[in-house]
Chains A and B, each alone.
Chain A
């Protein structure tokens, strides 16, 4: 993809995160902080999805399942094994990444469209397993009373405003890793794979290994989001780990812009904020979300960030034209 992507740039991102970090200092109500933390959690999941869909061109529909694996890993480790949150979170990320590896070993044997179907199946199965495995996950009752984040370096992270910074740090880490990945040789190879697997293979790219690594990164991010979610919400049920969650986050990603760095955050902030502020919308959200997904892929497949790019490109083109005229 040669066209200039919608990039706030490193400084832009610093400003965004600095502004976000200042929010708790304004002493907003718990409601505002809650929305902020939720946006950051779901944006992380959208980043995970974006690594697959945006960079590798593969539609993975099992991501809520990996979100669930991360969430339940943290929940079970802190609640039942009494681990510290700060140990359980990396463990959850690791377990999710390993799960991604296992999925990839089988799923990447299929070609093209079968991958999306296969991962949808995995997503449903993961939710079923979480729902049925009473001894481990609490089954239908769910997992109640997951302890909040414990203190680290003498700072108590269990309270709302302090936990906000945990989520913010996790999001910043996610954005950093994704940005570095996208810019690396590995990231470029992924984009080459998106362009055409056979072509990428003929250029000497080991497609299978690259896709496996991309899937592991993507599920690790989903697991991180899940782990933060577990400590924040304190209650885990199987309903959040199903394909409906994947589809909702997919919508966030599409609104923001698939394959862009700012898209996942932009789309999540906008769509999550909108659903929360329009209470009437919540009951009928899927009646609206369904057609919205269809309209987006039909008319604005590049999302908001992509629209910005296009406007930018047009401006650059216009400027070049003008220079040529003068010459």
Chain B
């Protein structure tokens, strides 16, 4: 207790709350990207290594819509999400659907090939240097001494909204229920007449849309670069292994756990350490509980 009191004394409560808000914003973005990945894994049983590429593509689509078409931020976000969703659905048709009966290693390698291509193509079109997206609502909000940028408030609000919407879709609509059904029991879903082909395509589209929306949300805070997908890939895979591959609540909890660990680890321990911390967590959890924190299908 003395230790905790000491830390609170040294680094005041305001700093702590500020870091907490940063972690929540980051966690929201991680959750959106990880949810898509875990949905695809649940339905298709494919660890989609191209997911980070779709996320990165989303950021570039938003950038292109903003700077090329000159549309407002929200429209750019929606355009990016729709564009990447369409591409992801095409990807499922062209690559993952034909490979559904091949050994798993084949679809993993194909996904790596797609990631290769997306990164190289983006670099060819937009160049290797960083791109900046302006904050749609510049400035800060002061909540009793805790200072947060509007963009972070926007990120937190939007990701909560999207997660709630996704939850409603999965639990309350028939189409959403088919996705849940397929991830719980493929054969059973087919038996009761679920159109397995359509569900696979739909899941990929949702997953791409979520990743692109997340990228468009965080793009004004970070810079947009072709390499941003690789780092995110690693993190969201760590999250879904942590949460249990295919588990939706596991992905959300894992995302916020990772964000909290990164922000507070980076702030209180060492900033260089922040990017590796998720991985250290992953090694620790795997050593103790190899099947992840949540079991699939809960």
Query: Which residues of A line the B interface, CB within 8 A?
Result: 53, 57, 59, 106-107, 109-114, 116-118, 120-121, 124-125, 128, 132, 243, 247, 250, 254, 284, 286-287, 289-294, 297-298, 301
Contact = CB atoms under 8 A, between A and B. Distances in A.
Given A113-B245, A286-B120, A121 B108 contact: no
A291 B110 CA distance: 8
B116 A289 contact: yes
A114 B110 contact: no
Contacts of A250: 109, 112
Given A57-B105, A297-B99, A120 B237 contact: yes
Given A111-B290, A290-B117, A298 B237 contact: no
Contact of A287 (B41, B106, B115, B117): B117
B71 interface: no
B279 interface: yes
B286 A116 contact: no
Nearest to B123: A286
24 contacts: A106-B283, A106-B286, A106-B287, A109-B287, A110-B241, A110-B286, A111-B290, A113-B45, A117-B237, A121-B234, A124-B230, A124-B234, A132-B272, A250-B109, A284-B124, A286-B119, A291-B117, A294-B110, A297-B99, A297-B107, A298-B98, A298-B106, A298-B110, A301-B106
Interface of B: 41, 45, 47, 49, 95, 98-99, 102-110, 112-121, 124, 230, 233-234, 237-238, 241, 245, 272, 275-276, 279, 282-283, 286-287, 290-291
Contacts of A117: 47, 237, 241
A109 B287 CA distance: 7
B123 to A, nearest CB: 8
Contacts of A128: 275-276
Contacts of A118: 241, 282, 286
A286 B112 CA distance: 11
Among A53, A113, A290, the most chain B Cβ lie within 10 Å of the Cβ of A290
B82 to A, nearest CB: 24
A59 B109 contact: yes
Given A57-B105, A121-B282, A289-B113, 18 more contacts: A109-B286, A113-B41, A113-B108, A114-B245, A116-B108, A117-B241, A118-B241, A120-B49, A124-B230, A128-B276, A243-B230, A250-B112, A284-B124, A290-B118, A291-B113, A297-B99, A298-B98, A298-B99
A250 B105 CA distance: 12
Nearest to B106: A297
A110 B290 contact: yes
A271 to B, nearest CB: 14
Given A121-B234, A128-B276, A290-B116, A59 B108 contact: yes
A290 B241 contact: no
A-B complex: 6 closest residue pairs judged by Cβ atoms: A290-B117, A293-B113, A290-B116, A286-B120, A109-B290, A294-B113
B47 A116 contact: yes
A287 B241 contact: no
Contacts of B241: 110, 114, 117-118
Contact of B116 (A110, A286, A297): A286
Nearest to A244: B116
A85 B115 CA distance: 38
Contacts of A298: 95, 98-99, 106, 110
A120 B283 CA distance: 13
B116 A293 contact: yes
Contacts of A113: 41, 45, 47, 104, 108, 245
B175 to A, nearest CB: 26
A287 B124 contact: yes
B117 A286 contact: yes
Contact of B234 (A112, A120, A293, A297): A120
B238 A121 contact: yes
A247 B110 CA distance: 11
Contact of B103 (A57, A254, A291): A57
A176 B238 CA distance: 38
A116 B105 CA distance: 9
A287 B283 contact: no
Contacts of B47: 113-114, 116-117
Nearest to A112: B104
A247 B112 contact: yes
A301 B287 contact: no
Contacts of B238: 121
A81 B124 CA distance: 43
Contacts of A106: 283, 286-287
A284 B123 CA distance: 10
Given A132-B272, A297-B106, A247 B279 contact: no
B290 to A, nearest CB: 4
A125 B238 CA distance: 12
A290 B120 contact: yes
